[in-house]
């Protein structure tokens, strides 16, 4: 059996044990919504679901795919939003941001139809300060 040279031993530092991260518990709210053709009603319904989940202690709340409109190819152009513009151009993301900030929760906003590409829907994640933390375009 060959012995390791000094240079081989020097290039491989000994492995250090990693500290065990502390365990913490938090509540997650999973919201399933009945969707109607009335987008404004769907947004209000989503807002109410967030408020109920936060009231029950949820710190992370998730919505389903295309929660603010019917899932129909014909309706996609009607319900699509300009997510990047925000504000009035994207009432769904405006609500998600406002509620996340007000309730101090993290929101995974399921997905909404993107006006940038109506064949694609986009999931937006808002931090507890209401800022958009991440977007994932599915399509």
Residue 64's CB: how many other CB atoms inside 10 A?
Answer: 15
* CATH code matching the domain that covers 26-138, chosen among 3.30.465.10, 3.60.110.10, 1.10.10.10, 3.40.800.20: 3.60.110.10
The closest of 129, 128, 94, 115 to 137, measured between CA atoms, is 115
If you search the block for the tokens 């994207």, which residue do you land on? 90
pLDDT (0 to 100) of residue 112: 92
Average pLDDT taken over every residue of the chain: 88
pLDDT (0 to 100) of residue 25: 83
Higher pLDDT, 119 or 76: 76
pLDDT (0 to 100) of residue 126: 97
Over 80: is that where the pLDDT of 82 sits? yes
pLDDT (0 to 100) of residue 13: 75
């Amino acid at each position: 059996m060959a012995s390791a040279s000094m240079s081989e031993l020097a290039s491989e530092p000994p492995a250090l044990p990693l500290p065990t991260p502390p365990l913490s518990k938090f509540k997650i709210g999973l919201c399933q919504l009945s969707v109607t053709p009335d987008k404004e009603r769907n947004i209000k319904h989503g807002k109410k679901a967030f408020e109920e989940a936060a009231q029950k202690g949820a710190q992370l709340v998730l919505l389903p795919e295309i929660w603010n409109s019917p899932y129909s190819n014909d309706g996609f152009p009607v319900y699509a939003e300009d997510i990047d513009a925000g504000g009035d151009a994207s009432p769904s993301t405006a609500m998600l941001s406002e509620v996340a900030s007000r309730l101090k929760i993290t929101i995974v906003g399921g997905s909404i139809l993107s006006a940038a590409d109506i064949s694609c829907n986009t999931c937006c994640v808002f931090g507890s300060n209401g800022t958009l933390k991440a977007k994932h375009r599915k399509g």
